[in-house]
A and B are shown apart, each in its own frame.
Chain A
Amino acid sequence: MSLAARFDRRPVVLIVIGALLAAALGTALVSGFRLATRLREDIAAVQAASALQAYPRELVREVSGLRERLEVRAYAGRALTTLRDSTRDFNERLQALAALDHDPARLASVQQRWRGYRAALAPVLEFRGEPYVDSDAASTRLSADGRGLYASLEHARLYALANAHGFDADLAAVTGDLQASASAAATRLRLLLQGGVLAALVLAAIAAWLLLSRARHERAAQEARERTRDILRTVREGFFLLDAEHRIGSVWSDALTQMFGREDFAGLGFRELLAGFVPETTIATALKYVDLLWGDRANENLMKTINPLSQLEVHSPDPLRREPRYLQFDFHRVTGAQGVKYVLCSVVDVTANVALARELQESQQGADAQLEMLIGMTRTDPLQLASFLDTADAGLKLVNAILRSPARSDADFRGKLAGLMRELHALKGEASALDLSGVADRLHALETRVSGCESRATLSGDDFLPIVAKLDELVAYLRGIREIAARLALTEHAAPASATDAIAPILEAAAARIALEHHKMLRVECNGFDAIPQSLAKALKDCLVQLVRNAAVHGIEDPELRRTRAKGDVGVVSARFARTADGYELTVEDDGAGIAPDEVKAVAVRRGLITEAQAAAMDTRAAIALIFRAGFSTAGEVSLGAGRGVGMDVVARTVRALGGRIGVATMPGKYTRFKIHVPTGGKDAAAAA
């Protein structure tokens, strides 16, 4: 038999031993009670027998005394009464003794003798006559009854004398027997009591051992419970048991409280646990999955692979905790003889792991982007790169300045958005033109954050935290480019880039990239850029970049369409700068699709910029002016090239800031021409930049 089996049977053995001892003790107690009763009766019998021993001689004495009274003719009534009383007493005591004695044979000879006594005494005791006769002649003499009485007394006296010794001996023997019996009973009682005490001691010892053993087990169980509690309090994982009804058991780890912000888990349904944190559809899927675990044929390892909660994104119902967390649920079946008893569920907050994985992914993407950037940089003219980096530096300083301006109300925050969008879009355009995709992507992401704020009902500083974080990322990225460029000596020894020198290559590069992306063929022709004053270079470069991108994306058709319109496959975008009598003129013209006013109006209505009624009342000139409105774009979706409706807004604002004006001429299917006029000595060009 194994040790464990032996250990398991120990309580049964103890119970049997205890029961036997209790039975023995009970028997001892009952026997002791009986013996004590018997002893008490024996002692009473001994006392009764002792008392009877005096009677035979007393009866002889009383019979003799009565006889003597009759002889001297004394009064005999009292003596006769005394004799009757003694006889009755003896008889009663003898009957009492017979009732006490458990051995009827012992009193047989005494009772035999007493019956003789009673027979001898009967005439005396039954005497009711007058024993004397008085006469004057012969004084007092015995009457006939008196003589009969005298004879009976004499007979009784002789009988008593003859049996006195035997009677004494019989009574003494009875007394002796009774004493011996009482003594034996007392001895048995003493032995019994000793046995009882011993049994009681053994029982007490067993009880004490059981109590100690139980206390030891309880202490061990308590320690085990405490250790379990310590484990559950310390582990960072949430643990709980689920029953077949999806209810949580009475034990769970404290980490669960931190994860779900509640403490009432006992009996809580799994559905209620997840409610508010994940969508209802996810909860339904989770419950179906848990149900599968209860099936006898479910393969746990296989089940793990389809666990829908292996990385669950949860959103706290607490509005202060907007950040999603990621919880990893793991399920293990707890089985018993009857099959699956519970499902043990462990929950781990893997938010940090997810964040780390993302960081790694971002880092990898960053490395890829850096490589791409490196390749792009080697393709980019050092002068243009240096110029862009300076522009970006200045642009992002301006972005940061917009962020730094104090804001408390929704209007304050909303007022920043347009400026941020304009600056970021202008930079993005230039980065795209130079094929610096890493920078353009980051600018696009930042622009997306800013753009996302526009649709929010109310804006606060919280909404700007992601923007400033992305800005920081971009600044760090640009710093990296500058460092790499310096290491590669791409810009270090280059002559300071002239802004005007850099414009044409930027436009050509932008056009080439857009042509490639949109499967178009186009050529940019630049004229007169060397005449652009340095003070206007930055502002006009921004305008040119936007206008050329606009022409490339929206104006120039793809070769197939151009052929149907009797045009050459290669579209032409020409940009000309010239001095005029009162200032400068910048013209950007493309031989593309032109602007269709009705299409512009329809898009504006669709984007909510104008109502249908306003559109209907709008003339062609006003319709074309819509393209300069912030938020207008005919592009179907937002991309690096177009779609936010910011580009032309940048142009319009820049020209306005320079104190200039902009004109548009177009013919659908033929061309579009933008003509920007900037007066000499207009507003501060730096401010416009």
Chain B
Amino acid sequence: MLHERELKVFVEGTTRFFEVAAQQPASIGSPYLMEEPLALHEYSGLIEVSGRREGVVCFTAPKTMLAVMLMKMHETDFGHETMRDLVGEVANTISGNARRDFGNEFRISPPRVLWGDTPPIDPRPGARTFVIPIHWRSHSAKLVVALC
């Protein structure tokens, strides 16, 4: 079972990125438990967690949202590489936040970026998977926390 405190750490890591980098705070939507495979957006940043908990944390966002984020960050290059870097950076911030708050409790892998036609995430056997919608301006992304 994942504790509320742990969930909050991952959520804060995500919203902090928007507040600091994109200079506009993000809010979270209504969180729920994933019961069926979840389709990912075009770009996803994924970190693997081991130690006291095992599983993955994934931030997935549509291309349009990333493009607006890049604009707010005064970027002029909206290419594939830049979007990959951006989504990787969000995952990196989540990872850093988790490292800061959990210390040695968790071991967190470097972020991995998925893009394009990625298969949906399946609910992990033995782990409850949380989906937390992330709203920023008129766009929505998702944070998926699947740990056991």
Contacts and interface: CB of A to CB of B under 8 A. Distances in A.
B32 interface: yes
A408 B2 contact: no
B112 interface: no
Interface residues of B, number: 25
A552 B1 CA distance: 36
Contact of A468 (B5, B27, B32, B103): B32
Nearest to A351: B5
Interface string B1-43: 1111101100110000000000000011111110100000000
The prevalent SS among residues of A at the interface is helix
Contacts of A473: 1
Contact of B33 (A355, A416, A475): A475
B135 interface: yes
Nearest to A358: B3
Interface string A468-497: 111111011000000000000000000000
Given A355-B3, A406-B133, A408-B27, A468 B33 contact: yes
Contacts of A200: none
B2 A461 contact: no
A461 B12 contact: no
Interface in A268-299: none
B107 interface: no
Given A400-B32, A400-B33, A408 B130 contact: no
A468 B133 contact: no
A617 interface: no
- Which of B2, B31, B35 neighbours the largest number of chain A CB atoms within 10 Å of its CB? B31
A403 B130 CA distance: 11
Nearest to A406: B29
B128 A355 contact: no
A465 interface: yes
B1 A472 contact: yes
Contact of B2 (A320, A322, A323, A469): A469
A136 interface: no
A397 interface: yes
B7 A469 contact: yes
Contacts of B131: 404
Contact of A355 (B1, B5, B103, B135): B5
Given A352-B105, A355-B5, A461-B133, A406 B12 contact: no
B12 A320 contact: yes
B113 interface: no
A352 B6 CA distance: 11
Contacts of A11: none
B128 A472 contact: yes
Contacts of A472: 1-2, 33, 128, 130
B30 A416 contact: yes
A400 B35 contact: yes
Contacts, number: 74
B130 A468 contact: yes
A465 B32 contact: no
A476 B31 contact: no
A404 B32 contact: yes
Contacts of A470: 4
Contact of A407 (B1, B30, B103): B30
Given A320-B12, A400-B35, A461 B5 contact: no
B27 A465 contact: no
A405 interface: yes
Nearest to B11: A465
B136 to A, nearest CB: 11
Contacts of A466: 4
Given A352-B103, A469-B2, A473-B1, A461 B33 contact: no
B132 interface: yes
A468 B4 CA distance: 8
B35 A469 contact: no
Nearest to B104: A352
Interface string B55-92: 00000000000000000000000000000000000000
A352 B12 CA distance: 18
Contact of A464 (B5, B30, B135): B30
Interface of A: 320, 322-323, 352, 355, 359, 397, 400, 403-408, 412-413, 416, 460-462, 464-466, 468-473, 475-476
25 contacts: A320-B12, A352-B103, A355-B5, A404-B32, A405-B30, A406-B29, A407-B29, A408-B27, A413-B30, A461-B29, A461-B31, A461-B132, A464-B30, A465-B132, A466-B4, A468-B7, A468-B31, A468-B33, A469-B3, A469-B4, A471-B33, A472-B1, A473-B1, A475-B128, A476-B128
Interface of B: 1-5, 7-8, 11-12, 27-33, 35, 103, 105, 128, 130-133, 135
The 3 closest A-B pairs by CB, nearest first: A461-B28, A469-B4, A403-B32
Given A404-B30, A464-B31, A469-B7, 20 more contacts: A323-B5, A352-B103, A352-B105, A355-B3, A355-B5, A359-B3, A400-B33, A400-B35, A403-B30, A405-B30, A413-B30, A416-B30, A461-B30, A461-B133, A462-B28, A465-B4, A468-B7, A468-B31, A471-B33, A472-B1
